[in-house]
Amino acid sequence: MQAWKESPNRKPLLLEGARQVGKTWLANAFGRAHYDKVAYVSFYDNATMRALFESDLTFERLIPALSIESGTRITPEDTLIIFDEVQEVPRALLSMKTFAETAPQYHVLATGSSLGIAMHPGTSFPVGKVRRLKLYPMMFMEFLEAAGQDSITNLLVSQDFDLINVMHDKIMTWFRYYLYVGGMPDAVLRFAGTFPNVDFAGIRTIQRTLLDDYRDDFSKHTGAGERGASFTLRLNQVWDSLPAQLAKENKKFIYGAVRSGGRGKDFELSIQWLRDSSLVLRVPRVSAPLHPLSAYKDEAAFKLYSLDVGLLGAMSGLDVRTLIEGDQLFREFKGALIEQFVCQHLTAKLGTIPYYWSASNSSGELDFLYETSGEVIPVEVKAGDHTQAKSLIAAVRKYDFPTAYRFSTRKHHNGGAIKDMPLYMAGII
């Protein structure tokens, strides 16, 4: 964001992400730290702004009105203009094209949720006229920092595995905490503010409230009438099926598990809606683990993960007692929690969702695949300290992968091409 501010080719910035991941807080904190003035305008339930953007989108007309609405005199050299919840007024998003083309001297930052689904018919996205950044739930490292565990974060960043192995049990304790709390800022704040007398019940209440708010969004944004009610029902069915889908041995998404006799055409729009809302991560299958992975994508097969491991635990009714029951936490729902953790951390680290591979004859599967510097990197996730990974070993031999990662509760071990990593390193390597 600092680099965006200082760029000579700066375009308006769009900060995207699911509701309650901290977009508004981050935009305002950035403005306070790097600008003399912040002109903050919320578009949520704001009829005045909706009326303003219905007419001409010239900056000569918009700037005075935005100054009045925000109570801030907007000057281009020292003011950050924040359009909060910009998806509520689609023409405000379109106005970013005006700022990019005719008034680039103004610093405009918009935050938005559900942008892909809230665009009204007849209102196009300003393609090529905005810079886009995605904000995800807090990662494990950020969770540690929030809880005052900077010494652990510094150790993990150093990748001094001799010392990391010595401290492994302590780090695993914090990792267990993260699996329960997750990365939604309100839940992390409650944890950090009450540690060591952690208010686990309060954290679960925060998570359930978030889940209820998302459900309210389903009905709010899907329209009224019979068609809207039917679509809302399908959204809830897909959303509710996530824990059961991920608890299967084969985590491929099965439409029939959402509703008996369910087919793709019944639920594909619901899944797309949830993706556009940033509430789920859709991991597509590839028919072969080869570069470029996108050329081998199989659109018919995919896995569906939640946006956050803490919310998945709340949806699943995960009991807090699993935090003190050894490795039971990692085996819950057939390893669904730790796969969720690795998936969301790979996504946040890479800035793109990974793939997975399964053989057509069901003789092998790789949990995740991603690309870096033109090379395919396979990732295997193992519950507990059981690290037998026949599919990964066979794939490394067959496809000659130079590097592969196997994540488990075990300590780090470098065994040639296959590198054994503790689970908490998934967002760092």
**Rounded-to-integer distance, Cα 267 and Cα 93, Å:** 29
**Rounded-to-integer distance, Cα 342 and Cα 336, Å:** 10
**Per-residue pLDDT tens digits for 326-368:** 777 777 777 899 999 999 999 999 999 999 999 887 778 999 9
**Per-residue pLDDT tens digits for 33-72:** 999 999 999 999 999 999 999 999 999 999 999 999 999 9
| Domains recognised in the chain with CATH numbers | 2-134 (3.40.50.300), 140-425 (no CATH)
List C-alpha distances in Å: 412 to 304, 397, 406, 408: 29, 22, 10, 9
* Of 276, 239, 273, 275, the residue nearest 259 (C-alpha): 239
**What is the pTM for the complete model shown?**
0.93
The region that residue 21 occupies, defined by phi over 0 for left and psi between -120 and 50 for alpha, beta otherwise, is alpha
Determine the pLDDT at residue 250.
87
**Per-residue pLDDT tens digits for 304-326:** 999 999 999 999 999 898 887 77
Determine the pLDDT at residue 54.
93
pLDDT at 403 over 60: yes
pLDDT (mean) for 152-165: 97
Determine the pLDDT at residue 390.
86
